[in-house]
Amino acid sequence: MSKIAVIDYDAGNTMSVMNALKFLGYEVTLSKIPEELFKADHVIFPGVGAYADSMNKLKEYGLIEPIKEIVAKKTPFLGICLGMQLIFNSSTENAGDLGVSSIEGLGLLDGVISGFKENPDFMKLAYKSDDLINGMQDAGKSVSQIKVPHMGWNSLNLQNKDSKLFKGINDGSFVYFVHSFYLSAKNHEDVAATTEYGITFDSAVEHENIFGCQFHPEKSGDVGMEILKNFCTI
């Protein structure tokens, strides 16, 4: 059975990923030591936290070049949530606070990470939703609201019938999200799934040995476990 390594860079959410993989019966190592990561058959790059802080941690631990080497060796590599976002070129998260237009990512795939609240189309819908809620509350009724962060269960619109990550997964399957920033991939052929939340955003990617999920497969029930199993058997 495959040896799985989970990259440890203080970005959070590693233990839930580890527990899911152990439940599936895999040998799992949590490490920030490149030599241990190189020994793995599959590498998972999870994360919950801030983009700039996480890039700084990767630099501090000397993990940027080892990650690029792992990918260059064609080892199957899966980014989850923030881990998927860091795979791409840049993010606007907290960039203004740091006096720059964007924060540089790993650049393993081409694309940018933006905030829902930075998207005019999303904000128009959010404001309409707020107005509607206020009116409904005045009438003593309730109505759902588009909120940031996007938190909870939402469906996948699968884009690639030959996807390795989503083999055996039905189009429209529900998975669990928690995020305020989203991916716009430069190359549509890299997009394995999209999701609707006020706007359409790229929720999963697949390019050769590089895979990514904006959602949390480890928190997505049977569907998520099947996705993890698919990755670990690539």
Q: What are phi and psi of 112, to 5 degrees?
A: -130, 155
**Shortest CA distance to 71 belongs to which of 89, 45, 47?**
45
The H or E element that residue 48 is part of is none
Question: pLDDT digit string (tens) for 65-105?
Answer: 999 999 999 999 999 999 999 999 999 999 988 899 999 99
Residues 6+ apart with CB under 8 A from 37: 5, 7, 31, 43, 66, 70
pLDDT at residue 145, as a whole number: 66
Residues 6+ apart with CB under 8 A from 145: 129, 130, 133
Dihedral of alpha carbons 212, 179, 110, 158, sign: positive
Distance CA 131, CA 137 (A): 10
pLDDT at residue 78, as a whole number: 98
DSSP 8-state symbol, 189: G
The H or E element that residue 207 is part of is strand 199-207
Token look-up 């907290």 returns 94
Mean pLDDT lowest among 119-128, 155-164, 209-218:
119-128
pLDDT at residue 87, as a whole number: 98
pLDDT at residue 130, as a whole number: 54
Distance CA 33, CA 5 (A): 10
pLDDT at residue 21, as a whole number: 97
Q: Which residues are catalytic?
A: 81, 216, 218
Is pLDDT at 192 greater than 60 in this prediction? Answer: yes
What are the structural domains of the chain? 3-232 (3.40.50.880)
For residue 181, the one-letter residue type is: F
Cβ distance 223 to 167 under 8 Å?
Answer: no
Question: pLDDT digit string (tens) for 13-53?
Answer: 899 999 999 999 999 999 999 999 999 999 999 999 999 99
The H or E element that residue 214 is part of is none
Question: pLDDT digit string (tens) for 124-180?
Answer: 887 766 554 454 344 343 334 688 999 999 999 999 999 999 999 999 999 999 999
- Using CA atoms, how far residue 201 sits from 4, 28, 204, 219, in Å, is 29, 31, 9, 20
pLDDT at residue 125, as a whole number: 82
The H or E element that residue 210 is part of is strand 210-213
pLDDT at residue 13, as a whole number: 82
Q: What are phi and psi of 110, to 5 degrees?
A: -90, 130
pLDDT at residue 24, as a whole number: 96
Q: Which residues pair with 181 in a beta bridge?
A: 115
